[in-house]
């Protein structure tokens, strides 16, 4: 016997509501899983970007360290060219300074390529990445979003003086 009327319609209505609720929950689970997957991808991309940024910062710091001796060498060479009538003693002083700059630069490059030879405490890429991520979480300050992790020229000079370049 076929059911008809209000009781049958109510049961079908309840079944439809229950089906819709199950579909809604399943849809939410699917969306949540997709969001978790996407969040994992974004986290991986952020980590990669942070490593790239740390490598770029390390390269920039190394270039800054290398340019100082080269600038001094250039100024000494210019002096030697302009002061043709300078005493032999003055010329020898400039040549010795050039030789010292070359030795320092070679040592600097050697210590960068072979970090095990440096016995000083070094700032690693992990420290730079952690500082960048911390700044991203903080959201910046009144100087702009990136300024919270940008280091000053004085800080860069201090890091260079103390030999604290990243080793990885």
Is 165 in contact with 58 (CB distance < 8 Å)? yes
Question: Mean pLDDT, to the nearest integer, of 85-107?
Answer: 92
> What pTM does this model have?
0.43
pLDDT tens-digit map of 8-20:
555 688 888 888 9
Residue numbers of the domain that contains 79: 6-161
Count of structural domains, the chain: 1
Query: Is residue 99's pLDDT more than 60?
Result: yes
pLDDT tens-digit map of 36-85:
999 989 888 888 888 888 888 878 888 888 888 888 899 999 999 999 99
What is d(CA 77, CA 85) in angstroms, rounded to the nearest whole number? 14
Q: Residue 98 forms beta bridges with which residues? A: none
* Percentage of the residues of the chain whose pLDDT score is greater than 90: 19
The total number of residues shown for the chain amounts to: 168
Is 98 in contact with 81 (CB distance < 8 Å)? no
Query: Is residue 140's pLDDT more than 60?
Result: no
Q: Is 88 a domain residue?
A: yes
Task: Kindly give, in sequence order, each residue whose CB lies less than 8 Å from that of residue 151, ignoring residues fewer than 6 positions away.
Answer: 159
Q: Is 111 a domain residue?
A: yes
What is d(CA 4, CA 9) in angstroms, rounded to the nearest whole number? 7
What is d(CA 68, CA 166) in angstroms, rounded to the nearest whole number? 18
Place of tokens 């100024």: 75
Q: Is 168 a domain residue?
A: no
DSSP 2: -
């Amino acid at each position: 016997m076929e059911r008809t009327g209000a009781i049958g319609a109510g049961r079908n209505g309840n079944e439809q509501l229950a089906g819709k609720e199950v579909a809604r929950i399943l849809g939410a689970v699917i969306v949540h899983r997709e969001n978790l997957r996407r969040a994992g991808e974004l986290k991986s991309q952020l980590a990669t970007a942070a490593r790239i940024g740390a490598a770029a910062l390390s390269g920039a710091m190394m270039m800054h360290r290398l340019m100082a001796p080269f600038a001094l060498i250039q100024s000494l060479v210019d002096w030697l060219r302009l002061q043709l009538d300078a005493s032999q003693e003055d010329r020898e002083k400039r040549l010795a300074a050039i030789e010292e700059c070359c030795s320092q630069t070679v040592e600097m490059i050697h210590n960068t390529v072979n970090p095990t030879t440096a016995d000083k405490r070094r700032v690693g890429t992990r420290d730079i990445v952690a500082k960048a991520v911390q700044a991203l979480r903080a959201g910046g300050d009144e100087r702009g979003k990136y300024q919270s992790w940008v280091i000053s020229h004085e800080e860069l000079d201090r890091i260079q003086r103390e030999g604290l370049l990243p080793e990885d």
